[in-house]
Amino acid sequence: MQNPMSATAAQERVSRRKTVRRIYPDRRSTARLKQDRRRGPGRRKEDRAEAASLQKKLSAALKGAEAFGPQDPRLATALDNLAVFYCAQSKYAQAEPLRKRALAIRQNVLGSTHPEVTQSLNNLAALYHAQGRYAGAEPLLKQALAIREKVHGPNHPQVAEALENYAELLRTKGEHEEAASMAARAKAIRAEQH
């Protein structure tokens, strides 16, 4: 005969697992990733080879884009693509000059209020944020927010995105009240859109 307490406890455990899977559906894929890591050095070697191949392709694309001229927006895109790769590898020192150059090209060619310029500002701010260089990230996020409010008006989804990015930085810095205020404004803008 089973102990009724153990059956109840078992049912609660199963219920909790189902809840966790519903809230965090990617837990199973995360477990598979952990298994991949446990396979050992062979898997990491494959990953390094794949990363090296991707870096070669992105570098070749950048070299090809430079043929369009030093102020071509396609060059800025190629610079950003390589910077994304370096950021994913936590090679921020290599990504930073690429991000800065892409921003400069877009500002010169497209003008300071173009949406791609605000995206470049956000990209550079994200790089600084990842490095813990909050003093460098904050003015870039303020500038992106100001441009988006001026171009799109105060209740546009692009403004909500800028507010969310800025709120995340403020949370990281420990400025929770101001972060909550910005996040609430972003949420209100998004609610209006639906």
Residue range 142-162, pLDDT digits in tens: 999 999 999 999 999 999 999
Confidence at residue 172, expressed as pLDDT on a 0 to 100 scale: 96
* 10 has pLDDT over 60: no
Q: With pLDDT > 90 as the criterion, what percentage of the chain qualifies?
A: 70
Task: Give, to the nearest 10 degrees, the angle between helix 115-131 and helix 92-110.
Answer: 160
Contact 156, 193 (CB under 8 A): no
Give the torsion sign (CA, 79, 83, 86, 91): positive
Q: How many CB atoms lie within 10 A of CB 126?
A: 18
Contact 139, 146 (CB under 8 A): no
142-173 CB burial, b ≥16 within 10 A, e <16:
ebbbebbbeeeeeebebbbbbbbbbbbbbeee
By the 10 Å C-beta count (0-12 exposed, 13-18 middle, 19+ buried), 17 is classed as: exposed
Q: End-to-end distance of the chain based on CA atoms, in angstroms? A: 55
What's the pLDDT band for 28 if we cut at 50, 70, 90?
very low
Average pLDDT for 82-96: 94
- Domains of the chain, by residue range, sit at 37-95, 112-194
Q: Indicate the average pLDDT of the chain.
A: 84
Alpha carbons 75 and 65: distance in angstroms, whole number? 5
Confidence at residue 18, expressed as pLDDT on a 0 to 100 scale: 44
Among 4-8, 54-58, 94-98, where is mean pLDDT lowest? 4-8
Q: Which CATH superfamily is domain 112-194 in?
A: Tetratricopeptide repeat domain (1.25.40.10)
pTM for the full predicted model: 0.75
Residue range 90-145, pLDDT digits in tens: 999 999 999 999 999 999 999 999 999 999 999 999 999 999 999 999 999 999 99
Contact 76, 102 (CB under 8 A): yes
* 21 has pLDDT over 80: no
By the 10 Å C-beta count (0-12 exposed, 13-18 middle, 19+ buried), 106 is classed as: buried
